[in-house]
Amino acid sequence: MNGTLATPSDTVPESDVSTSTLLEQLGDCSGRTAAEIERRQQLCNQIIERTLPVADRLAAHYGGRGVPMDDLRQVARTALVQAMRRFRGAGEHSFLAYAVPSIRGELKRYFRDMGWMVRPPRRIQEARLAINEIQSDLSNALGRDPTVDELAAETGLDPDTVSDARGADHCYRPESLDRPKGDDGRAATVGDGTGGEDAGFDQAEARVLIEPLLDQLPPRDRKLIVLRFFNGMTQSEVGKRIGISQMQVSRVESRILRGFREALAA
C-alpha cells in the first residue's frame, strides 16, 4: 500500500463497472488537466459503448419506412454521441432521460429533411410523424386499423390533414415503374400505363413562329418549304414536283431559311 486512495476504476475492472458509476465518475472529472481530459474522453467512450443498444433500438423503431436501416443507426448513434457531449447531469436514468428524446428528435428530423424522394409540405410531414407515433397502439387497442376520424380525434388533427398524411406514404419510395400489375409474367407494368413524351411538343412553338413567315412567302417558295419540312421530301423530289433542279431547290431553300432566321432574330 502506498497510502493513495483507490478510485472505483482502480479496484473494479471496467467491464464490471455500471453505467451509473461511470456517469458519476464523469461528473467528478473536471477535465482541467491533460490527464483529466483524457480520462473524461475514456469515460465518455465507455458510456457510449454501453448505451449503443438503446440508440439501435430507437433506430429500429423507425425501420421499414423506406429509409435504409444502416442510415437510421448512423443517425441514432451520432445523436447519442452528441447527447453524451452535452450531458452535465449524473446517473444512468438522468442520462437516458436526456439522450432518448434527443435521439428520437434527430431521427424525426432525418425523416423530415432527408427521407423523402418526393417531398410533401412540412405540415403533411409532421402530421405523418404524429400519426405513426400512435397508430400502432391505437390499432392494438381497437383490434383493427383505425379510421381517419379516429386518428384525427387521437392526434388533434383535422380529418383532411390525416387523409393527406396517410396518402403521403408512397412519397418516401415511389412505386417502381417496372412492377407488374398482375400475377401473370406477361402482365403490363406500372410504367406501361404512364404517358410518354409527345414528339410534337418540340415543334409546336416553331410552328407558331413560322406560320406567319410562311404566309408572307410567294406560292412557289411556300410550297417548297411545305414539301421539304412538313411532308419530309428530299430536295430532288421537291424539284421534280415544282419543276426545278435539285441545285435550285437547295439555293431557294437556303435563301428562305436565312430570311426566317433574320426575321426571328429581329
Give the residue-averaged pLDDT of 152-171: 84
Domains of the chain, by residue range, sit at 9-114, 122-171, 202-265
With 50 as the cut, is the pLDDT of residue 77 above it? yes
Cα distance between residue 251 and residue 205, in whole Å? 26
Instruction: Provide the pLDDT for residue 3.
Output: 37
Tell me the C-alpha to C-alpha distance, in Å, between residue 171 and each of 20, 160, 177, 178.
43, 18, 14, 17
Lowest mean pLDDT among 4-18, 80-94, 140-154, 156-170: 4-18
Where residue 15 falls among pLDDT bands split at 50, 70, 90? very low
Cα distance between residue 117 and residue 132, in whole Å? 19
With 50 as the cut, is the pLDDT of residue 2 above it? no
What CATH fold (topology level) applies to the domain 122-171?
Arc Repressor Mutant, subunit A (1.10.10)
Give the residue-averaged pLDDT of 18-46: 76
Instruction: Provide the pLDDT for residue 223.
Output: 93
pTM: 0.44
Give the chain's radius of gyration (CA, Å).
36
Q: Which CATH architecture has domain 202-265?
A: Orthogonal Bundle (1.10)
Instruction: Provide the pLDDT for residue 79.
Output: 93
Percentage of residues of the chain with pLDDT beyond 70: 79
Where residue 169 falls among pLDDT bands split at 50, 70, 90? low
With 70 as the cut, is the pLDDT of residue 57 above it? yes
Give the residue-averaged pLDDT of 177-190: 69
What CATH fold (topology level) applies to the domain 9-114?
Rna Polymerase Sigma Factor; Chain: A (1.10.1740)
Higher-pLDDT residue of 25 and 215 is: 215
The closest of 229, 181, 176, 182 to 206, measured between CA atoms, is 229
Where residue 13 falls among pLDDT bands split at 50, 70, 90? very low
Question: Are domains 122-171 and 202-265 of this chain identical in fold?
Answer: yes
Phi, psi of 167 (to 5 degrees): -75, -10
